Amino acid sequence: MKRTSITIIGMGPRGLSVFERLAALALHRQLLLDLILIEPGECGPGVHVARQPQHLLINTLASQVTMFPAAGAVRHAPVCATPSLTVWARQMGYRRVGDRYYRLGSSGGHDIGEADYLPRSLLGEYLAWVYQQVAAALPAGVAVTHHRQRAVDLSQRLDGSSVIELESGYVVTSDFVFLTTGHGSNLPSDLDAWLGKFAQDHARYNSRLGFVRQVYPMEQLSRISADARVAIQGLGLSAHDVIAELTVGRGGEFVAGPEGLRYLPSGREPQLTLCSRNCLPYAARGVNQKGLDGRHQARHFTVDAVEALRRQALIARGSSQLDFDRELLPLLKREIADAYRTAAATLDAPDEDTLLADLLFPLQDRQFATLAEFRRYFRDWLQADLAEARLGNLASPTKAATDVLRDVRATLQSAIEHGGLTPASHRKFLNVYHPAINRAAFGPPLRRNEELLALLDAGVITLQAGPGNRIDIDETESTYLLTTKFSGGAEQHPVDVVVIARLEPFVPETDTSLLIRNMLKRGLVRPYYNGVFHPGGIDINRAGQPLDAGGAALANLWALGYLTEGAHYYTHALPRPQLRSRQVWDAEQCVMALAAKMAENQRRSPRKRAAASAQKHDTLQSN
């Protein structure tokens, strides 16, 4: 049997899922494979490196994180043990001591519970462990080569195989390739370039001045001086990382008391302020009352309902594309309202429109006369949201309703992906609804918002901006200016450092990856467009194969994960135990397609040999 070479470019969680499925395929079908892994770091963790401080947390319950498929969800069973993150941490002897986790064996500290949000460093350890276990269980016919470099170019031969150039100039040839490069970075926008240049040009006049466009790795924040005034742009999960790094990471401490958390400053914290488009924090996750695999059972906003609407649209308009506001949002509103009423145990609930507006757009039609008025609102909203989060995601009507948005994610994907919405509706969904859904349903553990409240009380964080703020510059004072227009007049506050605390979308034309840029130049990939709207990502077909500049699918090549965030929706979630998770399904689909191609190639080989033999026989006869 001929050996087959398969390359995975990018060995973070997405590449790891592909690797796990390839291992299962190789074992159950006794294949001879050369697996080539191109990853500059350790295989498995990706951005979740194990060497990072424990105050940086994952925002998903550890018990709801795994890297393995649910039983019966895939063709071939995994090749090794399949613990979730929580089960693995317990098996490794990790126990909780205060807010920290240590390997203490079977005694000392506290057991890791099903409701624990573990440090991202432990997730990194887990992902590395998964890789090691899968690699150790590979059958004898599989060889693994890990190139600790970046891929910078890729071209395809006529037979569909690929030639991959690494940054050292070394060349790898491969029969099949998986692109799983994960999060990237973009070239600076005009605004970013302007803000960055201001910091460079005026640092001689203000030694505290700084502009941080990308917050990871967090070590770079050590350059921010303790006497700096720092504006963190963004109030989501990355912002919580920045806050933790500049407070607990500088020696501060949170202490539980009868009135809740108190923050004890170390004196090395800079003065922090927060700003974003809406200037509201992400809502805290409700205490989980659904168990590992519990979820809201949708009755209105379902995949079948979406498909029925598509059939109706095709008959009525000649296109199966849907309008989210007009056709899908009414079903989603009904679903949310059902969950709210069930938790409230009453039919006396806000009407569906009011409820959706309260949950997703709390600032809609609100005006604030002054910054002081907005500060009071901010604090009241934060306290009210924490009260709901403590009730839990079944007992709290608010959290039960917003949790629906997590539980129907697969339906949202079926509605949006591969041009499922009209271009205008797709644009509005991503610009208006998607950020609101993230803020309402995909927020941090409630502990993070308790810490935010404690930091406000301690004066380490002071709100200096409100909704609709902008960042200006003051040439005379060599500072940035946070400017907000209130109905009572504009307010401005100087800051020394601006930190952009948000992950960048994957935009092929502006991505800094040499691999992507060269593949674009070669016409091997193209940006994904829904009509005239470009939501990001490269274009792929439903089988996960990139489409070239002419719209043809690339033979023997697949793309998964953040590269495809555009044609796909919400690609970065990790798998959940006992559920058919999207990350596993994508890997399974692509690997099984590869298996079919391999089988087809093997069937062709005897015919090719027979044809060659016949041609040689005819040649000898004619001579």
Instruction: Identify whether 100 is part of a domain.
Output: no
Alpha-carbon distance 338 to 298, whole Å? Answer: 9
- With 70 as the cut, is the pLDDT of residue 438 above it? yes
Instruction: Render pLDDT for 405-427 as a digit per residue (tens, 0 to 9).
Output: 999 999 999 999 999 999 999 99
Which of 297, 325, 320 lies closest to 309, judged by CA? 320
Tokens read off for 485:
């227009």
What sign for the dihedral angle of Cα 504, 508, 512, 513?
A: positive
- Band the pLDDT of 163: cuts 50, 70, 90: very high
Q: How large is the average pLDDT for residues 475-498?
A: 97
Q: Among 441, 469, 492, give the residue marking a domain's end.
A: 441
Task: Kindly tell me the burial class for residue 603, based on how many C-beta atoms sit within 10 Å of its own C-beta (0-12, 13-18, 19 or more).
Answer: exposed
| Per-residue pLDDT at 356 | 96
- Band the pLDDT of 204: cuts 50, 70, 90: very high
Based on the fold, state whether residues 201 and 242 are members of the same structural domain. yes
| Per-residue pLDDT at 606 | 60
- Band the pLDDT of 253: cuts 50, 70, 90: very high
- Band the pLDDT of 310: cuts 50, 70, 90: very high
| Per-residue pLDDT at 183 | 87
Based on the fold, state whether residues 25 and 75 are members of the same structural domain. yes
Structure-model confidence comparison of residues 539 and 98, the more confident one: 539
Based on the fold, state whether residues 133 and 226 are members of the same structural domain. no
Instruction: Identify whether 481 is part of a domain.
Output: yes
| Per-residue pLDDT at 347 | 67
Based on the fold, state whether residues 157 and 239 are members of the same structural domain. no
> How would you classify the pairing of strands 33-38 and 142-147?
parallel
CA separation, residue 298 to residues 73, 301, 360, 418, 570 (Å): 21, 6, 19, 23, 19
Residue 491 half-sphere exposure toward CB, CA atoms < 13 A: 17
Based on the fold, state whether residues 222 and 356 are members of the same structural domain. no
Phi, psi of 462 (to 5 degrees): -130, 125
| Per-residue pLDDT at 338 | 95
Instruction: Identify whether 246 is part of a domain.
Output: yes
Alpha-carbon distance 399 to 391, whole Å? Answer: 8
Q: How large is the average pLDDT for residues 584-611?
A: 83
- Band the pLDDT of 195: cuts 50, 70, 90: very high
Instruction: Render pLDDT for 3-20 as a digit per residue (tens, 0 to 9).
Output: 999 999 999 999 999 999
Structural domains counted in the chain: 3
Percentage of the chain lying above the pLDDT 70 cut? 97
Q: Which domain holds residue 366?
A: 303-441
| Per-residue pLDDT at 184 | 85
- With 60 as the cut, is the pLDDT of residue 274 above it? yes
Instruction: Identify whether 144 is part of a domain.
Output: yes
Element (H, E) at 192: helix 190-202
Based on the fold, state whether residues 210 and 336 are members of the same structural domain. no
Which residues make Cβ contacts (< 8 Å) with residue 497, sequence separation at least 6? Answer: 208, 209, 210, 211, 212, 224, 228, 229, 230, 231, 270, 480
Which residues make Cβ contacts (< 8 Å) with residue 612, sequence separation at least 6? Answer: none
- Helix, strand, coil percentages for the chain (3-state, nearest 5): 40, 20, 40
Based on the fold, state whether residues 45 and 161 are members of the same structural domain. yes
Task: Say if CB 439 and CB 283 are below 8 A apart.
Answer: yes
Q: Among 453, 471, 500, give the residue marking a domain's end.
A: 500
Rounded to 10 deg, the angle between the 303-317 and 409-416 helix axes is 20
- With 90 as the cut, is the pLDDT of residue 300 above it? yes
- With 60 as the cut, is the pLDDT of residue 291 above it? yes
| Per-residue pLDDT at 384 | 97
Based on the fold, state whether residues 317 and 348 are members of the same structural domain. yes
Instruction: Render pLDDT for 94-148 as a digit per residue (tens, 0 to 9).
Output: 999 988 999 998 888 999 999 999 999 999 999 999 999 999 999 999 999 999 9
Percentage of the chain lying above the pLDDT 90 cut? 87
Number of neighbouring beta carbons within 10 Å of residue 534: 16
Task: Say if CB 614 and CB 605 are below 8 A apart.
Answer: no
CA separation, residue 556 to residues 21, 172, 232, 342, 545 (Å): 16, 15, 44, 49, 8
Which of 282, 286, 298 lies closest to 338, judged by CA? 298
Instruction: Render pLDDT for 320-337 as a digit per residue (tens, 0 to 9).
Output: 999 999 999 999 999 999
Instruction: Identify whether 96 is part of a domain.
Output: no
Instruction: Identify whether 290 is part of a domain.
Output: no
Based on the fold, state whether residues 478 and 434 are members of the same structural domain. no
Q: Among 424, 441, 458, give the residue marking a domain's end.
A: 441
Instruction: Identify whether 136 is part of a domain.
Output: yes
For residue 493, the domain's CATH number is 3.50.50.60
Which parts of 284-328 fold into alpha helices (H)?
303-317
Tokens read off for 223:
């350059």
Based on the fold, state whether residues 385 and 458 are members of the same structural domain. no
Instruction: Identify whether 102 is part of a domain.
Output: no
- With 90 as the cut, is the pLDDT of residue 604 above it? no
Which of 244, 249, 228 lies closest to 451, judged by CA? 244
SS3 readout for 549-595: CCCCECCCEEECHHHHECCECCCCCCCCCCCCCHHHHHHHHHHHHHH
Which residues make Cβ contacts (< 8 Å) with residue 328, sequence separation at least 6? Answer: 301, 306, 309, 322, 415
Which residues make Cβ contacts (< 8 Å) with residue 148, sequence separation at least 6? Answer: 39, 40, 41
- With 50 as the cut, is the pLDDT of residue 616 above it? no
- Band the pLDDT of 596: cuts 50, 70, 90: very high
Task: Say if CB 162 and CB 557 are below 8 A apart.
Answer: yes
Instruction: Render pLDDT for 34-61 as a digit per residue (tens, 0 to 9).
Output: 999 999 999 999 988 989 999 999 989 9
Tokens read off for 84:
């979730």
Based on the fold, state whether residues 431 and 355 are members of the same structural domain. yes
- With 60 as the cut, is the pLDDT of residue 614 above it? no
Instruction: Render pLDDT for 452-463 as a digit per residue (tens, 0 to 9).
Output: 999 999 999 999
Q: How large is the average pLDDT for residues 214-237?
A: 94
Based on the fold, state whether residues 419 and 346 are members of the same structural domain. yes
